[in-house]
Amino acid sequence: MKKLKKMSKSDRLFLFIVYTTVALISVMILYPLWFVIIASISDPNLVATGEVLLLPKGITFEGFKYIFRDPRIWSGYYNTIRYTVVGTMLALFITIPAGYALSRTDMKGRGIIMKLLIVTKYFSGGLIPTYLVVDALGLVNTPYVLMILGSFSVFNLILCRTYFLNTMPVELQEAAEIDGCGIFQYFMKIVIPLSKSIIAIMVLYYAVGHWNSFFNGLVYVTDSDLYPLQLILRDILITGQSVDPSTVDPESLELMKQIARTIQYGVIIVSSLPVLVLYPFVQKHFVKGVMIGSVKG
Residues between 71 and 130 with contacts to another protein, criterion CB under 8 A: 93-95, 97-98, 100-102, 104, 106-108, 113, 116-117, 120, 122-130
CB atoms inside a 10 Å sphere around CB 166: 12
47 Cβ contact partners less than 8 Å away, ≥ 6 residues apart: 39, 261, 262
Among 1, 2, 50, 245, binds another protein (CB under 8 A): 50
Q: Looking at beta carbons only, is 250 or 291 nearer to another protein?
A: 291
Among 26, 166, 252, 258, binds another protein (CB under 8 A): 26
Q: How far is the CB of 116 from another protein (least distance, A)?
A: 7
Residue 261 interacts with another protein (CB under 8 A)? Answer: yes
Q: How far is the CB of 8 from another protein (least distance, A)?
A: 6
Task: State how far the Cα of 8 lies from the Cα of 224, in Å rounded to an integer.
Answer: 64
H-state helical runs in 41-138: 44-48, 62-69, 71-103, 110-122, 127-136
Instruction: Please give the DSSP secondary-structure letter assigned to residue 149.
Output: T
Between 191 and 230, how does the x/- string for binding to another protein read (CB under 8 A)? -----------------x--xx-xx---x----------x
Q: How far is the CB of 150 from another protein (least distance, A)?
A: 10
Q: Looking at beta carbons only, is 47 or 85 nearer to another protein?
A: 47
181 Cβ contact partners less than 8 Å away, ≥ 6 residues apart: 189, 190
Residue 36 interacts with another protein (CB under 8 A)? Answer: yes
Residue 162 interacts with another protein (CB under 8 A)? Answer: no
**Count, residues in the chain:** 297
Task: State how far the Cα of 294 lies from the Cα of 55, in Å rounded to an integer.
Answer: 41
Taken in order 140, 142, 146, 151, the sign of the CA dihedral is negative
